[in-house]
Structure formats: C-alpha cells, structure tokens
Chain A
Amino acid sequence: MMTTMLELLLCALILIGAGFTLIGSLGLLRLRDFYSRLHAPTKATTLGVGSLLIASAVFFSHRDEGLSLHEVLVTLFLFITAPVGAHLMAKAALHLRLNSLAKPPDEDLLEGARCDAEGADSRRE
C-alpha cells in the first residue's frame, strides 16, 4: 500500500521535526540569558513543527489521494506569527531592561560613533 520510499521519507521528516522541537526546548532551558534563550524556540522549534507539518501533508495527500492543504494553513500561520511574537517579547525584555551577557559590539567603534555624534552637535551649534 504505502511504498517503502515514501515511508522512509515520512519517518525521516517526523524524526527530524521531533528532534528539532526537542532541541528548541533544550535551548530554552539551558541557554543563559533571555536574549539568547529567545533564539532557540523561535527558530529551532518553528523549523521542527514545519517539518512535522510537511510530513503530515505528505501522509494525508497519499492516503486521501488528493492534495491536503490544512497543514499548509497551519505552517503559514506559524511561520508568519513566530517572528512577530519574538519581536514583541524582545521589546518587552528591552523595556524591562533585562541584563544581557553579551558585551556591547566594539568599544573602539562605539567610541568613534560617540565622537562623530559630538562633532555633529558642535557643528550644529
């Protein structure tokens, strides 16, 4: 009924998807500050769920012998909303001034930018 190749493809997609979901949650638990924790679920978990949904679309398209489009709806919705949610959460964290472990980009560059800004101010005066 179901060919071996198709079954192998489905198994691979399901296991990869579940693995990525687990990695996302592991990152959520293990990473050390909020800004790095934000990366794990919004990227890895979304990719994992996308993979699971593709597997489901292939499975139901084969079983019902017609294109199954419910999954595409869920995938589209998740892929659109994940970045929006992450952006809002990052804004909330910045508003609450949560500490970040990462250093500011480059001291010299920052110093240069500050001098430039002061120069611009004095010129304006």
Chain B
Amino acid sequence: MLSTAVYIAFGLVSTALLLSFWRLLLGPSKPDRILALDTLYVNTVALLVLLGIHLGSNLYFEAALLIAMIGFVGTVALSKFLTRGDIIE
C-alpha cells in the first residue's frame, strides 16, 4: 500500500514540476521566472524526500537540504539583482 501511494505521489510531484517548468518558459515578467525557479527547487526537495522513502535510504536528506539552501540563496540573489541592479553592494 505504501509503495502504491509513493508511486502516485511521484506522479503528482512530477506533474507539479512540469507545470512550474511551463511557467518558467511562459513567464511574461522576470519575477515570474524567479518564482517558477523557486517552485522548481521546492518541488525537487519534495521529489528527493519521496525517493528517500521509496529506497529506504537516509542519504537523500543531505541532498535535499543542500538544494533547499542553494535554491534560497539563488532566489535572494536574483531578486536582489532585480531590485538594486547589484547583488553585493
């Protein structure tokens, strides 16, 4: 039962990734694309956590944590660049 639920969740999260990617391509304005990238990395964290449950391995949390941290830094840097025209002033 658990593996079926995990497979269904894989499908749902992958669809979510595709939808965010579509917004990334579509996105009329620049903040839209930043938001789509932000959503993409949060979805990737979800996918990695699911993979960890599926394979029964603890290793994937380190990867999820790394992606979450670097994604956040990326979002902050891009938004900062749009507002100030510079990242580190």
A11: which B residues are within 8 A, CB to CB? 1-2, 4-5
Q: How many residues does chain A have at the interface if contact means C-beta atoms less than 8 Å apart?
A: 52
Cβ proximity bits B39-65 to A, threshold 8 Å, 1 near / 0 not: 100110110011011001010011011
- What CA separation (Å) do A89 and B12 show in the bound complex? 26
**Is A117's beta carbon under 8 Å from chain B?**
no
Say whether chain A's binding surface is mostly helix, strand, loop, or mixed: helix
Q: Tell me the complex Cα distance, A49–B83, Å.
A: 29
Chain B interface residue number, banded: 35 or more
A70 & B58 in contact (Cβ 8 Å cutoff) = yes
8 contacts between A and B (CB under 8 A): A8-B1, A14-B2, A18-B12, A24-B16, A28-B20, A52-B49, A74-B61, A91-B79
Q: Would you give the shortest CB distance from A109 to chain B, in whole angstroms? A: 28
Q: Is there contact, CB below 8 Å, between A53 and B49?
A: yes
A9 to B83, CA, bound (A): 44
Q: Distance in Å from the Cβ of B86 to the closest Cβ of chain A? A: 13
Q: Which residues of B contact A (CB under 8 A)?
A: 1-2, 4-6, 8-9, 12-13, 15-17, 19-20, 22-23, 26, 29-32, 34-36, 38-39, 42-43, 45-46, 49-50, 52-53, 56, 58, 61-62, 64-65, 68-69, 72, 75-76, 78-80, 82-83
Please give the residue numbers on chain A whose beta carbons come within 8 Å of chain B beta carbons, in ascending order. 2, 7-8, 10-11, 14-15, 17-19, 21-22, 24-26, 28-29, 34, 37-38, 41, 45-46, 48-49, 52-53, 55-56, 59-60, 63-64, 68, 70-71, 73-74, 77-78, 81-82, 84-85, 88-89, 91-93, 95-96, 98
Q: How far is the CA of A73 from the CA of B68 in the complex (A)?
A: 11
Q: Contact check: which of A10, A19, A49, A64 meets B12 at CB < 8 Å?
A: A19
**A77 and B83 within 8 A (CB):** no
